[in-house]
Amino acid sequence: MTLQELTAAFAEQYAQRPIPADGPIDTSHIDTTPDTDEFDAVWQQVIAETRARGNDFHLPLSVAYARRLCDAYPQADRELVLVATLLHDTGWAHVDEDRIISEGFRGDWRKSDIRFEHELQGCEVAKRVLPGLGYSDEFIAKVTAIIDGHDTRQEAHSIEDALMRDADRSWRFDRVGIALASGWFGQTPDYYTDRLEEEIIPELITEAAIAMAHADLKRSRDLLKTAVLR
């Protein structure tokens, strides 16, 4: 099936939006999510890539949220979601660092060339590291199909793609994500958290991600006193 056909089939299969959860929704603070060594072999292959653009915070946090989303949607291929989430932004390490902030987080940032470039480079990282760890060509193709377009495609094409997209956005509502991303966008925490509520929550695809986002956003706003410091 073509990407367009996959996207249409997914939209038909999951016509109700946000997509209702079939499993438990954990809205406790993400710090309570226990770490595992399940994918340490993959992590060890991309240490250099984690040092770019705050990935050493963004990627582990996104994977933690992806684990919770997989619990809420047990029908998804858990391994595919977690590996794709782990690798999705590794491409930032292989683009012009000076352009990451100036183009990737300014103006019409979703359509900037640097966004497309980091997706393509992320696919190259996946194709470089996964074969040696025993992953099949079919699995790697599914991973790269999710990475390619995760910022620039308008629609998800599978439940795994949807969960990865929501995990990628979910970390922004945690205090760590707010601290980093508000700096990238050159915005104060109060302004940025307002943007999260007005712009990012409506983009979330799943019921679970929306519930987690609202819980995290309230905790972060209370902690950062954004009602006062504005």
pLDDT band at 109 (very low <50, low <70, confident <90, very high): low
> In whole angstroms, how far apart are CA 214 and each of 17, 47, 222?
17, 32, 12
Residue 98 lies in a domain: yes
Any idea what the CATH number is for the domain that residue 188 is in?
1.10.3210.10
- The pLDDT, as a whole number, for residue 185 is 85
Cβ-contact 25, 216 below 8 angstroms: no
Give the residues across from 206 on adjacent strands.
Answer: 19
Residue 230 lies in a domain: no
Predicted confidence (pLDDT) at residue 111 exceeds the cutoff of 70 = no
Residue 115 lies in a domain: yes
Residues in the chain: 230
pLDDT band at 123 (very low <50, low <70, confident <90, very high): very high
Can you list the alpha helix ranges (DSSP code H) found in 105-204?
113-129, 137-147, 159-170, 175-184, 189-195
Give the residues across from 19 on adjacent strands.
Answer: 206
Instruction: Please report how the helices 137-147 and 159-170 are oriented relative to each other, as an axis angle in degrees rounded to 10.
Output: 50
C-alpha 146/C-alpha 136 separation (Å) is 16
Residue 21 lies in a domain: no
Residue 127 lies in a domain: yes
* Of residues 47 and 152, more confidently modeled: 47
pLDDT band at 1 (very low <50, low <70, confident <90, very high): confident
| Mean pLDDT (whole number) for 11-39 | 94
| Mean pLDDT (whole number) for 205-230 | 98
- The pLDDT, as a whole number, for residue 221 is 98
Instruction: Please report how the helices 175-184 and 55-72 are oriented relative to each other, as an axis angle in degrees rounded to 10.
Output: 130
Residue 160 lies in a domain: yes
Predicted confidence (pLDDT) at residue 114 exceeds the cutoff of 80 = no
**The one-letter amino acid at 43:** W
| Mean pLDDT (whole number) for 169-186 | 94
Give residue 152's Cα distance to chain centre.
13
| Mean pLDDT (whole number) for 41-48 | 98
> In whole angstroms, how far apart are CA 89 and each of 48, 67, 157?
12, 17, 19
Which domain does 113 fall in, by range?
3-10+38-224
pLDDT digits (tens, 9 = 90+) for 50-68: 998 899 999 999 999 999 9
C-alpha 192/C-alpha 70 separation (Å) is 27
- The pLDDT, as a whole number, for residue 151 is 85
pLDDT digits (tens, 9 = 90+) for 84-104: 999 999 998 998 766 655 554
What total of structural domains would you count in the chain?
1
Residue 44 lies in a domain: yes
Residue 128 lies in a domain: yes
pLDDT band at 142 (very low <50, low <70, confident <90, very high): very high
